[in-house]
Amino acid sequence: MPHIANTPKPPYYAVIFTACKSAQQEGYARTAERMFALAAQQPGYLGHETIGDELGSITISYWESLEAIDSWRDHAQHQEARRLGRERWYEAYAVRICKVQRERRSA
Amino acid sequence: MPHIANTPKPPYYAVIFTACKSAQQEGYARTAERMFALAAQQPGYLGHETIGDELGSITISYWESLEAIDSWRDHAQHQEARRLGRERWYEAYAVRICKVQRERRSA
């Protein structure tokens, strides 16, 4: 169940990460959990939403600026996790970087 | 498992729809399927990615323009489905409208 991130009024930024998992998932869950905790400590982090099953996942993280997104991309531990993802855990993936312009939500 | 949408080079637009489901889900699956099929026929539709479980869902639809997004929002059958979602199927939700600025994906 996705927790709905408590983001501020737009504009802010979103990173949409969509992945199809490979058959090899050893170490994935532990690393994913570590990366969520580490992302939440980064400057400019605003929240995230994620849902997944054995076959794939969609994760959206929200950020104050493109600079914050780039810094997180370049974080050493995140770079190592991304490398493992590319080499082992993901059959295919897409990363989309977006500017959130409008938001509406249930009361 | 999310099918990864075959979107064009940015810029284009994304609608991120994150929802927590209520206990009442009668009619939801059938309507959701109908809405995905109908969205795919709309002008400016570029694809979508979705994943869900009993508790919630994340759906991202991709569009050529903000005008295409507004037209789909105002489509009569979609308006009726959205009303049912608000009244019955969703405990909470957020809709975020974004401009996709960068994209990278696996080969």
Please write the tens of the pLDDT for every residue from A20-75: 999 999 999 999 999 999 999 999 999 999 999 989 999 999 999 999 999 999 99
Q: Is B64:B44 a contact under the CB 8 Å cutoff? A: yes
Task: Kindly determine whether residue B5 and residue A94, on different chains, have CB atoms separated by under 8 Å.
Answer: yes
pLDDT score at A59: 97
CA distance B101 to B26: 38
Going B93 to A4 to A7 to B96, the CA torsion angle's sign is negative
CA distance A44 to A81: 20
Confidence band, pLDDT 50/70/90 cuts, at residue A2: low
Task: Kindly determine whether residue A92 and residue B105, on different chains, have CB atoms separated by under 8 Å.
Answer: yes
Task: Kindly determine whether residue A95 and residue B86, on different chains, have CB atoms separated by under 8 Å.
Answer: no
In tens, the pLDDT along B37-94 reads: 999 999 999 999 999 988 999 999 999 999 999 999 999 999 999 999 999 999 999 9
Which of A19, A20, A102 has its CB closest to that of B97?
A: A102
- From B68's Cα to the closest Cα of chain A, the distance in A is 15
Task: Kindly determine whether residue A105 and residue B93, on different chains, have CB atoms separated by under 8 Å.
Answer: yes
Task: Kindly determine whether residue B103 and residue A93, on different chains, have CB atoms separated by under 8 Å.
Answer: no
- From A59's Cα to the closest Cα of chain B, the distance in A is 9
Prediction ipTM score: 0.95
Whether the per-residue pLDDT at A1 is higher than 80: the answer is no
Q: Does B96 touch chain A (CB under 8 A)?
A: yes
Q: Does B5 touch chain A (CB under 8 A)?
A: yes
Helix (H) or strand (E) holding B68: helix B66-74
Q: Does B90 touch chain A (CB under 8 A)?
A: yes
pLDDT score at B12: 98
Considering only CB atoms, which chain B residues are within 8 Å of A92? 4, 105-106
Please give the biggest Cα pair distance in chain B.
42
Picking from A5, A64, A59, the residue whose alpha carbon sits closest to that of residue A32 is A59
Q: Does B64 touch chain A (CB under 8 A)?
A: no
Beta-bridge partner residues of B97 = A102, B15
